[in-house]
């Protein structure tokens, strides 16, 4: 690898797993994603959750209204799966043209998941309707059984629940969100082409050691599913950089105010949106696989979701820059992933490496 490689030009990427929140928080973060990404699958875990097509339409309109004036960003909406989601609503989602997936949260697994599914069997009628309608299921794949070790929640979910869902609904397209384990990678690889996974920057960059770096508790790398052992991280990097169309970019950028993270009961979620593509570039460069970045970031996702690929481009240039220590977030602040640290890559929209400072600088 040369010390200063030539700028890399790739088709404009999409983010297939994003939290944008609402109100002032939405206004504070949406520009960071729209700076680089053409589209994003927007998670429905608002309070209350987005459970109807009408609510998704209203949320989409609020997102579009909050965009910076020059942005051309398309939010791809999702519904929050509940045990009572009706087949008629699933059909409405398919026909809407703007709802692209339905998200399964096990009740109590993560932020705003109280209304989630208490036992996946209870959602089988909805899954059957989704299989019939051709609507994608996005899965937060963790058990919430308190007897299961927190680091084993994904593996046990796959063994106890997800393998059964895949067998029972063979035509259902499933994205296993924010995959964190070697077991998860092996499972997704072994399934047919209708099962894929998103991978986040934090799970590709960090093992669970990062949670305790230097002997301190590091709330800004605390997310769910929690970071895992180094061997799992290596399996995720191998999957991301393999060129397999089953693995694609989903940041799970999940903004929480600084005070909600730096707290005795700190919230889960990493805010990666301001530097997301740059962070992935670092991972791919580290693996000697920059030539695989475009597939992961810009091709596999739209192909799986059966949406057109983007036509614009982004350029990644090798240019050191420091991530802001914090950014405005409504009437408070937010700490982005890698705050205060130097990143090697800088992404800009378009084909030429013209400098655009990241938001907040
Ligand atoms: C997400 C959030 O804050 O909404 N948190 C996280 O740690 N990833 C929820 C989720 O995706 O699990
Ligand atoms: Zn998420």
Reported as a single tens digit per residue, the pLDDT across 93-108 is: 999 999 999 999 999 8
Question: Within 13 Å, how many C-alpha atoms sit on residue 125's CB side?
Answer: 9
What digits encode the pLDDT tens for the residues 298-350?
A: 999 999 999 999 999 999 999 999 999 999 999 999 999 999 999 999 999 99
Q: Compute the average pLDDT of residues 224-248.
A: 98
Cα(317) to centroid(ligand 1), Å:
30
**Which residues have C-beta within 8 Å of that of residue 185, sequence separation ≥ 6?**
179, 197, 235, 236, 238, 239
Using a 6 Å CB cutoff, which residues line ligand 1?
19, 45, 110-111, 140, 223-224, 252, 254, 268-269
Give, using CA atoms, the residue closest to atom 9 of ligand 1.
111
Cα dist from 347 to 73, 178, 225, 265, whole Å:
16, 23, 27, 35
pTM: 0.96
What digits encode the pLDDT tens for the residues 327-340?
A: 999 999 999 999 99
Cα(223) to centroid(ligand 1), Å:
6
Quote the CA–CA distance of 15 and 198 in Å, as a whole number.
Answer: 9
> Catalytic site residues?
252
Q: Quick check: 132 pLDDT over 60? A: yes
Q: What is the pLDDT of residue 355?
A: 52
Q: Quick check: 205 pLDDT over 80? A: yes
Pair 88, 133: CB distance under 8 Å: no
217-231, 263-277, 346-360: segment of lowest average pLDDT: 346-360
Sheet with 39-42: strands ordered across = 15-18, 39-42, 74-80, 99-104, 136-139, 174-176, 195-199, 247-249
State the ligand closest to the CA atom of 224: 1
Sign of CA dihedral 123, 124, 125, 130: positive
State the ligand closest to the CA atom of 266: 1
**Surface-to-core class of residue 9, CB atoms within 10 Å of its CB (0-12 exposed, 13-18 middle, 19+ buried):** middle
Q: Which residues lie at CB < 5 A from ion ligand 2?
A: 252
Quote the CA–CA distance of 215 and 110 in Å, as a whole number.
Answer: 26
């Amino acid at each position: 690898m040369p010390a200063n490689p030539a700028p890399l030009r790739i088709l404009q990427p999409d983010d297939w797993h994003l939290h944008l929140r609402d109100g002032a928080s939405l206004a504070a973060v949406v520009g960071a994603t729209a700076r680089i990404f053409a589209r994003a699958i927007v998670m429905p875990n608002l309070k209350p959750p987005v459970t109807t097509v009408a609510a998704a339409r209203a949320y989409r309109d609020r997102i579009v209204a909050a965009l910076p004036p020059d942005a051309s960003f398309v939010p791809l909406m999702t519904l929050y799966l509940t045990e009572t989601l009706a087949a008629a609503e699933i059909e409405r989602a398919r026909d809407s043209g703007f709802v692209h997936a339905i998200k399964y949260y096990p009740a109590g697994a993560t932020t705003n998941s109280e209304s989630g599914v208490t036992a996946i069997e209870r959602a089988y009628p909805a899954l059957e309707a989704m299989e019939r309608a051709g609507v994608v299921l996005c899965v937060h794949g963790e058990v919430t059984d308190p007897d299961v070790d927190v680091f084993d929640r994904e593996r046990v979910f796959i063994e106890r629940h997800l393998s059964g869902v895949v067998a029972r609904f063979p035509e259902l397209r499933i994205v296993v969100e924010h995959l964190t384990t070697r077991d998860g990678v092996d499972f997704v690889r072994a399934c047919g082409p209708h099962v894929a996974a998103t991978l986040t920057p934090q799970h590709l960059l960090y093992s669970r050691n990062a949670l305790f770096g230097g002997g301190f508790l590091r709330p800004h790398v605390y997310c769910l599913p929690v970071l895992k052992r180094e061997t799992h991280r290596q399996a995720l990097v191998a999957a991301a950089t393999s060129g397999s169309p089953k693995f694609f970019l989903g940041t799970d950028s999940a903004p929480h105010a600084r005070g909600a993270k730096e707290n005795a009961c700190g919230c889960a979620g990493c805010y990666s949106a301001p530097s997301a593509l740059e962070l992935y570039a670092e991972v791919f460069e580290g693996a000697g696989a920059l030539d695989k970045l475009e597939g992961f970031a810009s091709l596999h996702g739209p192909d799986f979701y059966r949406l057109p690929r983007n036509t614009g481009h982004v350029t990644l240039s090798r240019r050191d820059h420091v991530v802001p220590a914090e950014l405005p977030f409504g009437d408070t602040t937010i700490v982005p992933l890698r705050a205060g640290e130097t990143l090697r890559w800088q992404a800009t929209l378009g084909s030429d490496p013209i400098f655009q400072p990241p938001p907040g600088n």
